Chain A
Amino acid sequence: MAGTELSIAITGAGGAGVISVGELLLQAWAKEGGRGLLRKAFGPQIRGGESAALLKLTETERYTAASQYDVLLAFDWNNFTRFGDEIRIARDALVICEPACDPPPEVLAAQPRLLRFPMARLAADTHAEGRVNMFALGLLGRLLGLPLDSLEQLTLQKLKAKPEAYRHAAIACISAGTTQAPDCELSLPKMGAKGAWYMSGNQAAGLGALEAGVRFVAAYPITPASDVLEWMAGGLEKLNGNLVQAEDELAAINMTIGAAFGGVPSFTATSGPGLALMTESIGLAVASETPVTILNVMRGGPSTGIPTKSEQSDLNIALHGLHGDAPHLVLAPLDIADCVFTSGWAVNLAQGLQTAAIVLSDQFIGQSTAVISEPLRCESQVAGAQDNDNDYLRYRLTDSGVSTLAIPGDADQRFTADGLEHNEKGTPSARDDDHQLQLAKRARKLTTYNYGNAWARVQGNGQVALVCFGSASAAVNEAADLLARQGINVRTVSLRLLAPLQREQLTAALEACNTVFVVEQNHGGQLFQYLRGMMDFNQALHSYSRAGPVPLSGHAIATAVAQEVTV
């Protein structure tokens, strides 16, 4: 069971500092041994649009987006209402707002405990440069029982580049917020965890890649993947690697391929539209057997879609977007901490199997920040090919399908890598036998490799199975808990390796199940269709697919499953 959870929404105008409040609260909470998630929600505007810090304080590290909020602090109501369904207020929620404006009807309908508090005036009274967000930080910190000195210390650290007067004003407002906070009873989750890390999924994916040896990144900015690249720029400097800001995604993927050809593990990150531009050259990486890893932080699509919000709708392009027969790897991290593992695993696999790996993260886990235990690392490495033959053949037909990869500078192993079909030597060839043999070789190296147990996370043993991939895992496991309370025993299979699909393992994981639900956050049921096309199922097969931007809800999944199963 997940234990007690407390969800807090802080909303205001973009640039008003609501995200800072969320970050500082969560950090202070973590320092006391608490666990929690900070989801950031934005409108499309950079400044002046709506912005929300959506906190969920928990007792475990299974982080789903809150489906409703126990506490709402709204700096104004205009920005709050722009979020529509995304922020729903729990019955009896504590709602803190300025006295001047009345809450909208949907808030009043929840019959909240309304706390009209003149935060802006009190902040201004406290200090000439006082900011209301810092006052709110003190107020909320007090409600959560967080020590004032911890809040102050974290704030000073965050504002270390700001002028002295600015920092002084911030501290004064936090202190005023703490002392003037009214007494309110909140049911708080238990604390007591130790050794916390605090990171976003995008940072985690970058970390996993660098720890797996990536020393070259080519970058083209795109929401919501830019912050992976920004974090990696700093990380690569420390490791004496290189990051190039490319002129477009076409250049980014090709620079990545070029660096990888030079023997330097290479990586790029993008989102849907960028992935679409890269697909031709990802095929080049496959054909030329050049190892590259592409992190795709999914957002609402198609086209420009909803760039700031999450969706799992790039599965189809990741699986099937390359022209020709182009077998490659597709992986998906299951949560924020798992971004470290899966990103590292993808790099190791791409390097070892000499192909392209696409990692499907998304805006939800990418841009949310969580308190986690030290993340698990991927230790497995693919053994290199042994080529003892004197006559070096870059694309030698081996049993494993993997050939020895020479890099420029290696003596007497010169070859030309090619996207043209080629023979074992690498010489372009349009011959039938060369084509058949090289196609089979490139397929074989992926299908014969033993991926071990990391292909999925399998939990529970019920006769009803929920199958999902990537970030849907948390909501699916939440649904499993809710169903268990109703007496429906469920097992969950969260796929981390999507291509090549581990059919035998998946069939074994579903043994003795009579019903399978495929759960995903997109409109078309992309995973459902993929699994149906790839496998025979003995079970009744159902699709639960709901597009973004509202995060998948364990409650909604559980309701749908219960309806089907109890009929």
Chain B
Amino acid sequence: MLMKWLLAAVLAGSTVSVWAVDDANKVVTDALRKLAPTSKIQSVTQAAVPGFYAVVADGHPVFVSTDGKYLIEGHVYDIAARRDLMDDGLTGVRKQALAKIPAEKRLTFAPQNPKYRVTVFTDVDCPYCKQFHQQIAEYNKFGIAVDYVLFPLVIHPGADKKAVTVWCSKDRNAAYTEAMNGQALASKTCDNPVSELSDIALAMGVNGTPAIFSVDGTQLGGYLPPQQLAQRLDELAAPAKATTAK
């Protein structure tokens, strides 16, 4: 008897939580339909702040109150932890998006036995991307494997053609390095994933380059020098240790 009751309770419980998810989606969909009718919702999760859903729409994180009455755009800080919780929803979306970019659509520069792996969205015409790549050997020396994803920015006219040229070169990595060293490459075209990759970047809320992400979707920075990037990755790998050290 008791077993039966427990089972019923468990079933009821699971039904309730399924309903709660439906409810969350409905509340958020209705709220966004009102404020931003053309937006596409990518994720709805329970926020770390009680009374709110963490939402990502069009690569943009917002909080929506669970009653659907209020929407917050900006930052939501956990005061004690000194941390912006707004990025949490985005991190999940970013992790999934990164997982969707296969290795063959990236330009990989890796050391022998990498300790860490980062994805770097890069634009051939972006000065800090150049600075980053000019130090690629050092990043590798720190055990960091770098997977570049081409993301020519619209603010750099012609950068898309250069990205395509890099992609269509026989030796992509060599062409990329040449381009980042300021060499002009003879324009090439072929079937390429550049626009597809740009769409993924925008859906992840990447709006500048370089943008560096860890495998779990955490944004580590815009440009970071090799040692600092290694440090960030160390901290991320051992967050508890880093906190006690402070």
The answer to whether A and B assemble together is: no
